[in-house]
Amino acid sequence: SFEVTVVTRMRLAWSVAGAVAAVAMVAGATGDSAPRPDPEIFVGYSTKEVGYVLSEELGRLIKSQEHRPANKQFTMAVSGGSLPKLLGAGLHEHASEFVKSGAGPGKNIEGSDVLSANWKRVVSFYADERMVPLDHKDSNHAVCQEKLWSKLPVEKTNIHPIDPSLPVAEAAAKYSSEMVATIEDKTADGTPIFDLILLGMGPDGHTASLFPGHPLVTKSEGKLVAAVTDSPKPPAQRITLTMPVLKAARNVWFVVTGSSKEDAVMDALSDQPTLPAGLVKPTSGNRAWFLDSQAAAELKTRFLAAHRPVPHPKRRHFNGEHEDL
C-alpha cells in the first residue's frame, strides 16, 4: 500500500494512514522549496470544481515565482484534449466571481492569484501534438488558443506550436531544438526543466502521446521530443515530449476526470505502476493529481474507507457535470 493525502477544495480529506489533513498546494510549489508528499491529490465533486481548483493552483504557482528576476520565465508544457477546456472554464469562473463581487476595471485584483498572476512571463510548449494544421479541430494548439491563450494576457511570441508542414521526424527535431534554445534551466545532461507540465490521461493509461506497450515509454533513444508514427489513437502521426523531459519537470500535474479512468488511476497511484502515466515521477520535483469524484471512485473505495469531512467556510457548490479528458 502507499500513503497519500487526498484533499478537495471543500477540505474533505482522507489519508490511507487514517490521518486527516488539509494540505494547501502553495508552499513548496516550486523546485526552490522542499518537495511535498508525493503524490498530492485533489478530488473535486465535478469537473467544474476540478477546473476551478486547477486554475487557482496554477495562478498560485505562477505567483510563487515572483521572487525570481524580472526576466525569468515561467515555463510550462500543456496537453490538449479537454484539459484546456476544463482549465479555461475554471479561469472564467474566477473572472466571473471577480465581476460579481462588484469589482471592475482598475479595481484591486491582488486578492485573486489567478487574475493577478503575471501571465506575460508564461512560456508554453505542448506536451504532445497531432500532425495536423494548427487551425484543425484535432490540433492541441487550436484548442488551447481558443480556450486559453485568447483569454489570457500572454505574449503571443511565448506560445510555441509545432511546424506541421514538416515531416513528423523533422517537426520533432525542430521542436526539440526550439525547446532547448528557449528554456534556460536544464539538468546536468542538458534536459530542459519545465516549471510545470500539465498532462491528461486516457482510459488506457497513456499520457502525452506515450501509449502502453510503445517503445518510447521506456526508451527515448536520447531524444527530448520524439516522432510517433503509429499512434493507436488517430491521427497516427504525432510528436511527444519523452519521459526524460517529463521527469525533469519541477511540477507535473495530471488532470483526470470520468469513470472510464478509474482503473488507470489505480494503476498510476499503485506502488508498482505499469501504465505510462504512472511511470511519470519527477526526479526531484512535485507530482499532483486533480481528479473528479468519478475518476477517484475506486481510489476512495479501496484505500480511503475511513474518512471524515473537514468543513470549509468557503465551500463551493457546482452542478455535478462530468466529462472525460
Strand, coil or helix: what is 100? Answer: helix
Band of residue 303 on the pLDDT scale cut at 50, 70, 90: low
296 or 239, which is more confident: 239
Q: What phi, psi does 95 have (nearest 5°)? A: -65, -40
In this structure, of 21-30, 257-266, 286-295, the range with the lowest mean pLDDT score is: 21-30
Are residues 293 and 44 in contact, defined by beta-carbon separation less than 8 angstroms?
A: yes
What does DSSP assign to residue 296?
T
At 125-146, the pLDDT tens digits run 999 999 999 999 999 999 999 9
Map residue 250 onto helix, strand or coil. Answer: coil
Residue 308: what pLDDT? 35
Query: Mean pLDDT of all residues in the chain?
Result: 80
Q: What is the pLDDT at residue 324?
A: 43
The residue among 140 and 109 whose pLDDT is bigger is 140
- Residue 87: all three cell numbers together: 482549465
Instruction: Provide, rounded to the nearest whole percent, the portion of the chain with pLDDT above 90.
Output: 57
Any alpha helices (H) in the chain, and if so which ranges?
Answer: 47-63, 83-100, 113-116, 140-147, 168-182, 243-248, 262-268, 276-279, 297-303
Residue 294: phi and psi, rounded to 5, are -70, -45
Percent of residues, the chain, with pLDDT higher than 70: 75
- Beta carbons of 184 and 217 less than 8 angstroms apart: no
**Arithmetic mean of pLDDT, 48-70:** 88
- Among 152-161, 198-207, 266-275, 307-316, whose mean pLDDT is lowest? 307-316
Q: Higher-confidence residue: 205 or 14?
A: 205
Q: In what order do the strands lie in the sheet with 238-241?
A: 128-130, 238-241, 225-228
Q: How far is CA 247 from CA 141, 209, 253, in A?
A: 23, 15, 12
Residue 103 has pLDDT above 60, yes or no: no
Inter-axis angle of helices 140-147 and 83-100, nearest 10: 0
Alpha-carbon distance of 53 to 48, in angstroms, equals: 9
pLDDT of residue 175: 98
- pLDDT value at position 307? 38
- Look at residue 44 in the predicted model and tell me its pLDDT: 84
Note whether 239 and 227 are within 8 A (CB).
yes
Q: Where are the beta strands (DSSP E) in the chain?
A: 5-7, 12-15, 40-44, 74-78, 122-126, 128-130, 196-199, 225-228, 238-241, 251-256, 286-292, 307-309
pLDDT confidence of residue 133: 97
Tell me the three cell numbers of residue 118.
503575471
This prediction has a pTM of 0.82
Mean pLDDT over 158-174 rounds to: 98
State the Cα–Cα distance between residues 134 and 150, nearest whole angstrom: 15
The confidence score (pLDDT) of residue 35 equals: 46
Grid cell listed for 125: 510548449
For residue 316, how far is the Cα from the chain centroid?
22
